Amino acid sequence: MSQAEALYRLQMIDVALLQAQQRLKTIDAALSDDHQVAAARQAVAKAQQKLQPLRAQAHNLELEVQSNLSKTGVTEEQLYSGRVRNPKELQDMQQEIAALKKRKGELEDHLLAVMMEVEEAENHLAACEAQLKSAQSQQSGAEEQLLQEQAGVQEQVKTLQSQRSAALTHVTPESLKLYTALRPKKANQPVAVMKGNSCQTCGVEQEMAVAQQARQGQKLTFCTSCERILVYMG
CATH number of the domain that 144 lies in? 1.10.287.1490
Report the C-alpha gap between 56 and 185 in whole angstroms.
Answer: 68
In a domain, 15, yes or no: no
Number of domains in the chain: 2
In a domain, 186, yes or no: yes
Q: What is the mean pLDDT of each run of 10 residues along the chain (234 residues)?
A: 96 98 96 93 98 98 97 94 90 96 97 98 98 95 95 98 98 98 97 97 97 95 98 91
Q: Where are the beta strands (DSSP E) in the chain?
A: 191-195, 198-199, 229-232
* H or E segment and range at residue 27: helix 3-32
In a domain, 45, yes or no: yes
- Its domain, for residue 206, covers 3-7+172-232
In a domain, 12, yes or no: no
Please tell me the pTM assigned to this model.
0.68
Report the C-alpha gap between 136 and 36 in whole angstroms.
Answer: 8
Last residue of a domain, one of 149, 168, 187: 168
**Do 121 and 209 belong together in one domain?**
no
- Pairing relationship of beta strands 198-199 and 191-195 according to DSSP bridges: antiparallel
